[in-house]
Amino acid sequence: MILRLKRNLLQKFAIPERNLLLYMNAVEEKYNDNPYHNRVHAADVVQSTHVLLNAQSLESVFTDLEIFTVLFACAIHDVGHPGVTNQYLINTNDQLAILYNDSSVLENHHLAIAFSLLGQPGHDVFENFPRKQRLSSRRMIIDMVLATDMSKHMSLLADLKTMVETKKVAGSGILTLENYIDRMQILQNMVHCADLSNPAKPLDLYRQWTNRVMEELFQQGDKERELGIEISPICDRNTATIEKSQVIYMIHTYDIIFVLI
């Protein structure tokens, strides 16, 4: 609905609506019924990114291709998520960790599923894109989804703060982004921010998301206990404090929001 009604991107890129519907239905089916990393979370991140794109400081900054690509990346950014962290997969010698050499394991997994689904008959959302646009969009999707790896959080934020302060037009608050690296920094952090934006939602909704993410972490802790391995931080339902975990969560989130807006 955002693509068609709010931004008219389907018409601009001659995207067959049937292809988009078939593809998104396939993506939705690939999302597992985890407490937190599920299809509803994906939709929430798409909507949150749409809101961030409307920030005054980002007005007319991005091209239509970049806008379509970032919304697409949000929709697929957690597809096939197994409900455990990268570190859990590494610690348990999971096949995904072996496949991706312990590097951004989940993020590479999500991307592989998303691009594989495009190859199914009638599912290619990009079939009418010129080759150069298609390759550019693919590169951006990869860069944005890989940036959702929480191990990259601090470096992303530090680079963003430095870049924003040097790129603002004096007195206007509007960003000037002349090259791919600058534009990608903003888009990567936008997706990352939307991915962590639960504390910025209405309180009742925030509480629901908090309960869901904590339950998913606790389920991982239960698995770790059964395997006899060290229980990951915040994953022990017998000792974890939700309040403290959310203070840290909010600090991370609002750091990015204030820089972007």
Quick check: is 83 in a domain? yes
Name the 3-class secondary structure at 175: strand
Sign of CA dihedral 248, 165, 145, 101: negative
Residue 110 CB neighbours (<10 A)? 24
Quick check: is 131 in a domain? yes
For range 180-203, the mean pLDDT = 90
Instruction: Kindly report the average pLDDT of the chain as a whole number.
Output: 89
Nearest to 77 by CA among 126, 20, 135, 141: 141
Token pair of 34 as six digits: 């985890």
**What is the Cα–Cα distance from 91 to 85, expressed in whole angstroms?**
10
Domain tally, the chain: 1
- How far CA 244 is from CA of 202, 240, 241, in Å, comes to 19, 9, 6
Nearest to 85 by CA among 224, 255, 198, 199: 224
Q: Counting Cβ atoms within 10 Å, is residue 217 exposed (0-12), middle (13-18) or buried (19+)?
A: buried
Our answer to whether residue 37 is catalytic in this structure is yes
Quick check: is 239 in a domain? no
Quick check: is 56 in a domain? yes
What's the CATH code of the domain at 161?
1.10.1300.10
254: pLDDT confidence band, cut at 50, 70 and 90? Answer: low
- 């988009």: which residue's tokens? 20
Q: Which residue in the list 37, 109, 110, 192 is annotated as catalytic?
A: 37
- 């068609």: which residue's tokens? 4
Quick check: is 52 in a domain? yes
Token pair of 112 as six digits: 């592989």
Token pair of 9 as six digits: 């991107």
Quick check: is 238 in a domain? no
Q: Look up the domain containing 147 and give its range.
A: 2-195
pLDDT in tens, 105-122: 999 999 999 999 999 999
pLDDT in tens, 24-58: 999 999 999 999 999 999 999 999 999 999 888 77
Beta bridge partners of 175: 168
Quick check: is 234 in a domain? no
Quick check: is 189 in a domain? yes
